[in-house]
Structure 1
Amino acid sequence: MQSTLRELQGLSRDARFWTVLAVIALIVGLVGPFGTYQVLAVAPRLAYWAVVVLGTALTGTLVVGFIEGVLRPRLNKYLAALLAGALPGPLLAAMVALINIAVFGPGVTSFDLLTLGIYCTLISAAVTLVSAVLERPAQPDPAHAPPALLERLPRPQRGTLRRISVADHYVEVTTDKGSSLVLMRLSDAIKETAPIEGLQVHRSHWVALDAVRRSTRQNGRPALELDDGSIVPVSRTYIAAVRAAGFPA
């Protein structure tokens, strides 16, 4: 429900959402479907359809979004959309019926309510299904993509990247799930750490900034202590960069 409310809040700030609703309300207000053209003048008819379109759109978005969020992990995307659109039909029909009673008086028959329920259910289901069909696949966020370097590791070691160290002709890549040797140069390995923020602190060592617990000294020389307890030396060449990253060396 919280994610649905956030989505609704996002739509409420989207000018395109309100523009679409305004255009729909204007079109149906001018056309006057379901007999409203004959019984209402232009201004009242536009106002009536504005209330109907706005009320059903906001209510439908909230209810459909919640139901679809529950159904999508369990059902096919399009079946979930169809059911999520159909289930709120009676609620939307009741809302339109109340608006009709307020505008036209309490002369709504059970047949009218049944017909209204069928129309609302079919329209809501159709709109939700079409939205699912036209929905663009979610694009991966590069800022949250795993580092390419992890693809070189055995699956059991693919975790949160902590540090990289030179080991002869290999680099030892350490994650929160263990370490593995990869045949490549340190410079090439560092290029594949993005989007993890890290820093080369020695000609043989690179560390992820999130893994650094504090700066320290080892045998009188500057070093960094990582959250796994390991100590990584800092060479004189990289002291300025380490200090700039917020770790006094």
Structure 2
Amino acid sequence: MNDGPLHFTLRRTQAHFSNGRTWLGIALVGALIGLVGPFNTFQYVSVLPRLLYWFAIAAGSYAIGFCCAIFFEAWLGRGPLWRHFLLTGLLPGIPIALFVIVINLLTFGPTGGELIGLATLLVYCPLIALGITVASHVLGAGATAPAEPAEQAAPPALLARLPHAMRGRLLHLAVADHYVDVTTDKGHELVLMRLSDAIAETAPQPGLQVHRSHWVALNGVKRGLRQSGKPMLELENGTLVPVSRSYLPAARAAGLLP
């Protein structure tokens, strides 16, 4: 079965929200906001209803933002940074604003100011979502940056076995008789060695063996899918890689398959 962006988003969302750490983070954020009680909820709402209200707001807003980000990136692929901020920041703020209005109606009932509240939320929610997206990008970039520019991580040792023209970002390793077919974002080359030895030389590139004859780089996987009932991974270059039954748990744990 060939999946589109919607099915890919649903599978990634299911895998993400099956992780207990996701719910723990949402619960902590909801509890913190609930205890603070912004927007007059501290004065007018008792503790337990206030905590439940803000937990619902935190969970729903996060889920909407997560789904929008995954869907747009699966649909359009990687693009310029401004488009990433627009699609995963500003645009999700619109359905988040509608969601907050619905929660307010269910919690407090009609107050007569729904249209004004919606107009206000349609301004604030996209701006807040955009701010969170930008902050996450900046903090994430800072966290992954080396302490000193001169001390960057060494490239995988396997690349030294390739012609200079093929030394790019690792995507895929596949057994080809007594050789390993090494695929990078610049092409592929056959190397005379065992797959296990080649995998050992992929560090520090994060990757996963998904079949006795295949290894994939985690950031090179575009999506997971099924063909004739068999689990497959589609790489960013269009290559389809089978996932064998013995490697399914590891692939699911890595978020590559549901």
Equivalent pairs counted in the alignment come to 178
Q: Is 1:100 matched with 2:104? A: yes
Alignment-mate amino acid for residue 92 of structure 2: P
Choose from 180, 198, 206 the match for 1:195. Answer: 198
Q: TM-score, normalised by structure 2?
A: 0.54
Residue from 144, 150, 161 that aligns with 2:162: 150
State yes or no: 1:74 paired with 2:79.
yes
In the alignment, does 2:36 pair up with 1:31? Answer: yes
CA distance in 1, matches of 2:101, 2:63: 16
| Amino acid in the other structure paired with 2:104 | N
CA contact (8 A) 1:164 1:174 kept: no
Which stretches in structure 2 are left out of the alignment for 5+ residues? 145-152, 168-172, 200-211, 214-258
Separation of aligned partners in 1, 2:131 and 2:21: 21
Cα offsets for 1:172-191 (capped at 9, x unmatched): x999x9x99xxxxxxx9548
Contact 1:148 1:193 in 2 (8 A): no
Provide the alpha-carbon RMSD of the alignment.
4.4
Work out the CA distance in 2 between the residues paired with 1:50 and 1:132. 24
Partner of 2:67: 62
Task: Measure the CA separation in 2 of the matches of 1:147 and 1:192.
Answer: 14
Query: Which 5+ residue runs of structure 1 have no aligned equivalent?
Result: 166-172, 181-187, 197-208, 211-249
Give a deviation string over 1:138-163, Cα, whole Å, max 9, x none: x9xx7xx97653327889xxx97746
Return the alpha-carbon distance in structure 2 between the equivalents of residues 192 and 16 of structure 1: 34
Name which one, 1 or 2, has greater alpha-carbon Rg. 1
Query: How far apart in 2 are the matches of 1:18 and 1:94?
Result: 22
**CA displacement, residues 100-119 of structure 1 (integer Å, 9 cap, x when unaligned):** 01111112332211111222
* Higher RCO (CA-CA < 8 Å; seq separation 6+): 2
Deviating beyond 6 angstroms after TM superposition, the runs of 4 or more aligned structure 1 residues are 152-155
In structure 1, what residue type is equivalent to 2:12?
Answer: E
CA distance in 1, matches of 2:94, 2:39: 18
